[in-house]
Copies of this chain bind each other. A is one copy, B any other.
């Protein structure tokens, strides 16, 4: 299975497949005589796993650990839940920050006349001493 086929099968770009291999997230694929990488179904599985985890916002480092736990048949589910909990927490913190930004901006924006006059509480707030 060439990299293009693995890419199509997993939804991960060839570029990123090489990158994941380079940083050790994905096992090094054996090479054929022509130096092309040769992937198997396990690799495709791992790539799909990675793609899904990235979509859920896990960092590469977290995925590294999740994959390790996946490969460990006797993994304690506790650890998986811990990683997930930490990640949920980080996401929620970031969400709260952004929501604070939005409500501040919305408040300012609501009081902006949106016309040709220069008065604008948005700039006034940014510039206040």
Contacts and interface: CB of A to CB of B under 8 A. Distances in A.
- With most chain B CB atoms within 10 A of its CB, the pick from A76, A99, A126 is A126
B118 A77 contact: yes
Query: Number of contact residues on A: which range applies?
Result: 35 or more
Interface string A65-76: 010011011111
Interface in A94-129: 94-95, 98-99, 101-102, 104-106, 108-109, 112-120, 122-123, 125-127, 129
Contact of A78 (B72, B76, B78, B114): B114
A84 interface: yes
A101 B57 contact: yes
A77 to B, nearest CB: 4
Nearest to A41: B129
